[in-house]
Amino acid sequence: MAARVFVANEQSQRPVDCATWARLAEQALAAEGVEEGELSVLFVDRETITSLNERFLGHDGPTDVLSFPIDEVNSGPAAPEPSAPGSHRSRDADDEDGGDAPVLLGDVVICPDVAFANAPEHAGTYEDELALLLVHGILHVLGRDHEIEEEAEAMEARERELLSAFHRPGQAPLAP
C-alpha cells in the first residue's frame, strides 16, 4: 500500500499544478520507505504562512515552508505542536468502516509567492524551488532536521538525491 497525498492550492498569487506536486510527494515518501499514511500539502498565501509562522514558531513575517508532523512517531524537534493547521482530526482507533485508522504523517505548508521571490537566489526556477521546498518539508515531517551541522549535511544530501531521482530541474521561471 502506498502513502496517500492530498494537495490543496489555497492561494491565487502563483500557479500551482497540484498533480505534479502530489506525484513528487508520493515518490519521495516511497523512496523514504513510507508505505502507508496520509500527508497533506497546502499551498497558501503570504498572510496565511505569516500567521502560521508566528503562531507555531514564534517568528515574525512570512516563510517559504512549514512542516507539521502529526502522529507521535513523527513528532520531534521539527514539530512545534502535534496539532497541525490542516484538516486532520483526532481519530479513534478504528474508523467508520471498522478498519484501522490511517497513520497521519502531517502537513507541509508552502507559500508559492515566497518561493517565487526566493527562487533566483536559491534553487533557480520557481518550479525547482517548489520541488525543493516540498521535499524539504516532507523530510521534516519524517523527523529529519538541520539544527546540527551533521544533520543539515545529511538532510541536504538526501534532498539532492530525491530531487535528482524525481524532479526534472531547470524549467523556465514563470513571469511575475
Question: Alpha helices, DSSP H only, in the chain?
Answer: 18-31, 46-52, 112-118, 126-141, 149-166
Cα atoms found within 13 Å of the Cα of residue 66, Cβ hemisphere only:
30
User: For residues 103 and 74, is the Cβ–Cβ distance under 8 A?
Assistant: no
> Is 176 contained in some domain?
no
> Is 174 contained in some domain?
no
* Residue, of 45 and 172, whose pLDDT is higher: 45
CA-based nearest residue to 16, from 133, 142, 139, 138: 133
> Is 156 contained in some domain?
yes
* pLDDT (mean) for 19-35: 95
> Is 51 contained in some domain?
yes
> Is 93 contained in some domain?
no
Residues 2, 166: Cα–Cα separation, whole Å: 16
User: For residues 11 and 43, is the Cβ–Cβ distance under 8 A?
Assistant: yes
pLDDT tier for residue 98 given thresholds of 50, 70 and 90? very low
pLDDT value at position 95? Answer: 44
CATH number at residue 11: 3.40.390.30
Evaluate if residue 2 carries a pLDDT over 60: yes
Residues 17, 114: Cα–Cα separation, whole Å: 17
* Domains: count for the chain: 1
> Is 11 contained in some domain?
yes
As given in the structure block, the three cell numbers for residue 65 are: 515552508
User: For residues 109 and 38, is the Cβ–Cβ distance under 8 A?
Assistant: no
* pLDDT (mean) for 158-172: 84
> Is 25 contained in some domain?
yes
pTM of the shown model: 0.81
Range of the domain at 131: 4-85+102-166
pLDDT one-digit tens code per residue, 107-145: 999 999 999 999 999 988 999 999 999 999 999 999 888
Evaluate if residue 80 carries a pLDDT over 60: no
* Residue, of 174 and 70, whose pLDDT is higher: 70
Evaluate if residue 54 carries a pLDDT over 50: yes
pLDDT value at position 171? Answer: 53
pLDDT tier for residue 71 given thresholds of 50, 70 and 90? low
As given in the structure block, the three cell numbers for residue 167 are: 524532479
Residue 20, classed as helix, strand or coil, is helix
User: For residues 49 and 113, is the Cβ–Cβ distance under 8 A?
Assistant: no
> Is 39 contained in some domain?
yes
Can you state the percent helix, strand and coil of the chain, rounding each to 5? 40, 15, 45
